[in-house]
């Protein structure tokens, strides 16, 4: 079982707000279509046991005829256990150097997860709960997101993203992604995320019951399928809390109106942007982000003010040390990092008002390639 | 000829920064393909006079085979004089109420303009200058943008945007757009923009010479075709400068890293977001934007700090008055506005440091529809 170091009930009390990703995992929960109804899409299905693929394909004949489904460059894979979609990188999705921003990558991961949910008949309300979950007022909330980008797509490149979800531990599910550059077939990125089930009324985490599992496991790979091999999985690495004084900071960040998503909270892609705000300019100018891990701990509302703190991360053997402005290990860390043209940082997003932690994260940066 | 009230050489000295839209109009300027080369795409074309459509279609056989062109849901219209593309509204493109934000609409206008340029063989470097323009160091810069949205598309709606460009006056060109909801065929929005030609070295506006015109007019409608009829065109309305004290303001807005576009300046869609920041909350909560006009006057760089000012607009007959906090006409204005469930505001974006004007604008808001 994957470790889930500090995401306890109290920490997650308000994690509900990470609604940008809420619902993209919910496996079978269409408002219109119960799991049984999915199977019964096939006229005679109540008499027969259908495979997931048959159930899905049969359902798609009903729901897949809509305009949007016809026009999408995506659909379920042959076995019905994952979903792939192609995207053309648009002009407004690239930044400096004409390459896609990390926010664009995160947005597209969200999009493909959501479209996967829709393609198997999940609810399209942004929550994607199963019927049992809805009955019990349970929802999915994002607890962790980890993205690695090996090569950023450029303006007008076409990428294909595959995604699938599966059970993870007693309280969670997991969604993974693999990003391919279509022209070359090259894997250009991978991502994984963890989701937990929470009671909407008590705001407490709750074990995923067998009832709920039954509802979504039919659409998950039979054997564990992981975008990152477990033995070298940075997404699971413990993230030390940054303590003041930190080396870099950008204080007083405010959500803009466009940062609010359909669930009326600041969407979690904005958090990525806030992390970037406190990365030193000399790194932004010369390096590009190769990996980001974010643990989501608390929601952010429209009128919250946020501080973004960044410190160097020094890795010594298996021990991770965060280094502030007065940390004696700084020089050593810098030397080590420079040796590898790679920089590693730890991040903390907190409410300016009372210092409560919103998110903690970790980023890795490599030298910008010559384009 | 369209009036261009205050966009003089000095005002536009730094307008180069509005690069998000720079180049989306440039008619024929492919780095790889001169106008003559376009015509000569057809083996025997040097002997014959081709129509624009023939020239374009012939060229497309060369450039249209790329992956991205095959996958796009768009292309030139039958006469070759405009371009249409369908877009599915994505989850991250909607805000509260699950409807597309005005920034999304502006982004898609830009995208379709850019794809139009590409489809006729223009340069794909984001500048779209003609060969003559490049020789003379001339570029296009945005001077004005006007968007009206009658009905905002919702998450997963499919919209089709048509765009075309044409000559406008001695110093400018114009690009127009019409937005359709595909499911109903209904026109849900229109937009128009004005572009001027500027010398990249002297930063001075320059008359569009016949040489340059010849290069792009082949791809423009023969007769004037306007998204808005001229006699009732709000896009041309003079916008009074707001003077302090204003009724509403949001000071100290800072660009984020993701606001920088491929031309390394703050992209002009960010300006729209900044205008929205100073709209009073009670309007945002109960109304939706139905029209926005922005005149772009000065670039904005990464480390600039910006003030967004908003005042009520009172229209009396043909006279437009801006009303500050102490304006005696406020009460009358409010009454008039309430009568129509419509609010009109004037906007000013300026540099916090020295008060220099970046952009001035005008917005109209209508009661939110029940969804």
Distance between CA atoms of A73 and B67, rounded to whole angstroms?
A: 13
Distance between CA atoms of A52 and B289, rounded to whole angstroms?
A: 45
- Are the Cβ atoms of B94 and A20 closer than 8 angstroms? no
pLDDT at A308: 96
Distance from CA of B318 to the nearest CA of A (A): 33
Confirm or reject contact between A65 and chain B (CB < 8 A). no
* B139: CATH: 3.10.129.10
DSSP labels, B221-266: -SS---SS-GGG-GGGS--PPP-SSPSEEEEEE---GGGB-TTSSB
**Would you say residue B35 lies in a domain?**
no
- Would you call A13 a catalytic residue per the annotation? no
**Which of B110, B262, B269 is facing A95, going by the closest CB pair?**
B262
Which of B8, B27, B260, B255 has the alpha carbon at shortest distance from B143?
Answer: B8
Query: Are residues B224 and B125 both part of a single domain?
Result: yes
pLDDT band at B170, cuts 50/70/90?
Answer: confident
- Are the Cβ atoms of A277 and B264 closer than 8 angstroms? no
With contacts defined as CB-CB under 8 Å, which chain A residues touch B280?
none
* Chain mean pLDDT for chain B: 76
Provide the 10 A C-beta neighbour count for residue A155.
Answer: 21
Q: Is pLDDT above 80 for A269? A: yes
pLDDT at B50: 36
- Tens digit of each residue's pLDDT (9 = 90 or more) over A56-98: 433 433 443 489 989 999 999 999 999 999 999 998 999 878 8
With contacts defined as CB-CB under 8 Å, which chain A residues touch B97?
262
Residues 97-126 on A with a CB inside 8 Å of B are 97-98, 101, 103, 107, 110-111, 114, 118, 124, 126
pLDDT band at B184, cuts 50/70/90?
Answer: very high
Query: Are residues B217 and B75 both part of a single domain?
Result: yes
pLDDT at B316: 55
Q: How many residues does chain A have?
A: 371
Query: What is this model's ipTM?
Result: 0.78
Distance between CA atoms of B299 and A341, rounded to whole angstroms?
A: 34
**Would you say residue B169 lies in a domain?**
yes
Query: Are residues B267 and B360 both part of a single domain?
Result: yes
- Are the Cβ atoms of B92 and A183 closer than 8 angstroms? no
The CA–CA distances, whole Å, from A226 to A2, A164, A175, B183 equal 12, 9, 9, 39
pLDDT at B208: 86
**Over pLDDT 70: what percentage of chain B?**
73
pLDDT at B261: 76
**Would you say residue A5 lies in a domain?**
no
Which of B50, B28, B33 has the alpha carbon at shortest distance from B120?
Answer: B28
- pTM here is 0.80
Query: Are residues A169 and A245 both part of a single domain?
Result: no
Distance between CA atoms of B25 and B19, rounded to whole angstroms?
A: 12
**Would you say residue B158 lies in a domain?**
yes
Which of A196, A63, A81 has the alpha carbon at shortest distance from A139?
Answer: A196
Which of B3, B4, B15, B5 has the alpha carbon at shortest distance from B356?
Answer: B15
Most confident of A239-243, B45-49, B186-190: B186-190
pLDDT band at B4, cuts 50/70/90?
Answer: very low
Query: Are residues B253 and B192 both part of a single domain?
Result: no
Omega within 30 of 0 (cis) for the link into A324? no
Confirm or reject contact between A173 and chain B (CB < 8 A). no
pLDDT at A261: 76
Of A77-86, B4-13, B200-209, B343-352, the range with the lowest mean pLDDT is B4-13
For range B57-80, the mean pLDDT = 72
pLDDT band at A208, cuts 50/70/90?
Answer: confident
**Which of A86, A126, A277 is facing B71, going by the closest CB pair?**
A86
Tell me which of B236, B256, B278 is where a domain ends: B236
pLDDT band at A232, cuts 50/70/90?
Answer: low
Q: Is pLDDT above 70 for B102? A: yes
- In chain A, where does DSSP find H-type helix? 35-39, 52-63, 67-71, 102-119, 131-135, 210-217, 268-277, 281-286, 330-339
Higher pLDDT, B16 or A288: A288
Distance between CA atoms of A176 and A165, rounded to whole angstroms?
A: 6
- Tens digit of each residue's pLDDT (9 = 90 or more) over A177-195: 999 999 999 999 999 999 9
Q: Are B240 and B321 in contact (CB under 8 A)?
A: yes
With contacts defined as CB-CB under 8 Å, which chain B residues touch A155?
124, 262
Reading phi first (left if > 0) and then psi (alpha if -120 to 50, else beta), residue A31 is in: alpha
pLDDT at B178: 98
Confirm or reject contact between A310 and chain B (CB < 8 A). no
Confirm or reject contact between B251 and chain A (CB < 8 A). no
**Would you say residue A58 lies in a domain?**
no
The CA–CA distances, whole Å, from B209 to A155, B3, B126, B213 equal 31, 19, 22, 6
Distance between CA atoms of A105 and A178, rounded to whole angstroms?
A: 11
Q: Which residue of B has its CA nearest to A73?
A: B71
pLDDT at B51: 42
For range B57-86, the mean pLDDT = 77
Token pair 């139009």 in the structure block, residue: B116
- In A130-192, where does DSSP find H-type helix? 131-135
Distance between CA atoms of B42 and B219, rounded to whole angstroms?
A: 17
Distance between CA atoms of B343 and A83, rounded to whole angstroms?
A: 45
* Chain mean pLDDT for chain A: 76
Of A149-158, A173-182, B297-306, the range with the lowest mean pLDDT is B297-306
Distance between CA atoms of A310 and A290, rounded to whole angstroms?
A: 16
- Are the Cβ atoms of B95 and A262 closer than 8 angstroms? yes
- Provide the number of structural domains found in chain A: 2
pLDDT at A283: 94
**Which of A71, A73, A273 is facing B257, going by the closest CB pair?**
A273
pLDDT band at B349, cuts 50/70/90?
Answer: very high
Distance between CA atoms of B216 and B211, rounded to whole angstroms?
A: 9
Query: Are residues B133 and B165 both part of a single domain?
Result: yes
What DSSP state is assigned to residue B335? H
- Are the Cβ atoms of A156 and B68 closer than 8 angstroms? yes
For range B31-60, the mean pLDDT = 33
Residue A174 — φ and ψ, nearest 5°?
A: -135, 140
Query: Are residues B284 and B215 both part of a single domain?
Result: no
Residues 187-246 on B with a CB inside 8 Å of A are none
- Would you call A300 a catalytic residue per the annotation? yes
**Over pLDDT 90: what percentage of chain B?**
42
For range B55-69, the mean pLDDT = 52
Q: Give the number of A-B residue pairs with CB atoms closer than 8 Å.
A: 113
Higher pLDDT, B148 or B49: B148
Distance from CA of A359 to the nearest CA of B (A): 19
Higher pLDDT, B267 or A365: A365
Confirm or reject contact between B329 and chain A (CB < 8 A). no
**Would you say residue A27 lies in a domain?**
no
**Would you say residue A11 lies in a domain?**
no
Confirm or reject contact between B54 and chain A (CB < 8 A). no
Of A17-21, A157-161, A355-359, the range with the lowest mean pLDDT is A17-21
Token pair 């992956």 in the structure block, residue: B67
Residue of A257, A283, A302 to mutate, interface with B, max B Cβ within 10 Å: A257
Confirm or reject contact between B288 and chain A (CB < 8 A). no
- Are the Cβ atoms of B156 and A124 closer than 8 angstroms? yes
pLDDT band at B158, cuts 50/70/90?
Answer: very high
Query: Are residues A257 and A355 both part of a single domain?
Result: yes
What DSSP state is assigned to residue B100? B
Query: Are residues B169 and B265 both part of a single domain?
Result: no
Residue B330 — φ and ψ, nearest 5°?
A: -55, -50
pLDDT at B87: 97
Q: Are A20 and A141 in contact (CB under 8 A)?
A: no
- Tens digit of each residue's pLDDT (9 = 90 or more) over A28-47: 223 223 322 222 222 333 33
**Which of B73, B114, B258 is facing A103, going by the closest CB pair?**
B258
Q: Are A94 and A100 in contact (CB under 8 A)?
A: yes
For range B38-60, the mean pLDDT = 35
Tell me which of B236, B268, B296 is where a domain ends: B236
For range B133-151, the mean pLDDT = 89
**Would you say residue B31 lies in a domain?**
no
- Are the Cβ atoms of B71 and A107 closer than 8 angstroms? no
With contacts defined as CB-CB under 8 Å, which chain B residues touch A86?
71
Query: Are residues A220 and A266 both part of a single domain?
Result: no
Domain that holds residue A284: 238-314+341-370
The three-point CA angle A246-A248-A249 to 5° equals: 95
Q: Rounded to a whole number, what is the distance in angstroms from the first to the last CA of chain B?
A: 41
List the catalytic residue out of B146, B287, B300, B347: B300
pLDDT band at A122, cuts 50/70/90?
Answer: low
Cα Rg of chain A (Å, integer): 21
Residue A359 — φ and ψ, nearest 5°?
A: -160, 145
Q: Is pLDDT above 70 for B331? A: no
Tell me which of B187, B220, B236 is where a domain ends: B236
Q: Is pLDDT above 50 for A293? A: yes
- Tens digit of each residue's pLDDT (9 = 90 or more) over A313-330: 876 544 445 544 433 333
pLDDT at A234: 78
List the catalytic residue out of A115, A287, A300, A343: A300
Most confident of A150-159, A333-342, B192-201: A150-159
With contacts defined as CB-CB under 8 Å, which chain A residues touch B257?
95, 273, 276-277, 284
pLDDT at A271: 94
pLDDT band at B232, cuts 50/70/90?
Answer: low
pLDDT at A8: 28
Query: Are residues B189 and B309 both part of a single domain?
Result: no
Confirm or reject contact between A163 and chain B (CB < 8 A). no
Distance from CA of A146 to the nearest CA of B (A): 19
Most confident of A9-13, A212-216, B2-6, B272-276: B272-276
- Would you call A265 a catalytic residue per the annotation? yes
Query: Are residues A256 and A170 both part of a single domain?
Result: no
């Amino acid at each position: 079982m994957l470790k889930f170091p500090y995401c306890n009930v109290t920490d997650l009390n308000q994690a509900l707000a990470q609604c940008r990703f809420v619902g993209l995992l919910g496996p079978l929960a269409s408002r219109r279509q119960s799991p049984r109804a999915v199977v019964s899409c096939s006229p005679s299905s109540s008499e027969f046991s259908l495979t997931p693929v048959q159930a899905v394909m049969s359902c798609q004949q009903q729901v897949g005829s809509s305009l949007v489904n016809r026009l999408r460059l995506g659909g379920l894979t042959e076995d019905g256990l994952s979903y792939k979609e192609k995207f053309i990188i648009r002009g407004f999705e690239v930044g400096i150097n004409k390459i896609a921003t990390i926010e664009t990558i995160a947005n597209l991961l969200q999009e493909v997860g959501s479209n996967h949910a829709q393609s198997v008949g999940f609810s399209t309300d942004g929550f994607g709960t199963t019927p049992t979950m809805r009955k019990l007022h349970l929802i999915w909330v994002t607890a962790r997101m980890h993205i690695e980008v090996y090569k950023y797509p450029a303006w007008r490149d076409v990428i294909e993203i595959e995604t699938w979800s599966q059970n993870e531990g007693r309280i969670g599910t997991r969604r993974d992604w693999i990003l391919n550059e279509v022209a070359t077939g090259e894997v250009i990125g991978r991502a994984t995320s963890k989701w937990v089930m929470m009671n909407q009324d008590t705001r407490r985490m709750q074990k995923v019951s067998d009832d709920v599992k039954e509802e979504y496991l039919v659409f998950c790979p039979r054997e564990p399928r992981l975008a990152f091999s477990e033995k070298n999985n940075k997404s699971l690495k413990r993230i030390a809390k940054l303590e003041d004084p930190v080396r870099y900071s950008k204080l007083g960040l405010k959500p803009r109106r466009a940062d609010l998503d359909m669930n009326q909270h600041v969407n979690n892609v904005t958090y990525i942007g806030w992390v970037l705000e406190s990365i030193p300019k000399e790194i932004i100018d010369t390096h590009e982000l190769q990996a980001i891990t974010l643990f989501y701990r608390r929601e952010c509302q429209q009128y919250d003010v946020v501080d973004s703190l960044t410190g160097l991360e020094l890795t010594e053997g298996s021990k991770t040390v965060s280094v502030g402005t007065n940390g004696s290990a700084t020089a050593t860390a810098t030397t080590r990092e420079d040796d590898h043209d790679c920089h590693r940082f730890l991040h903390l997003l907190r409410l300016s008002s009372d210092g409560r932690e919103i998110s903690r994260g970790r980023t890795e940066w490599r030298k910008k390639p010559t384009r």
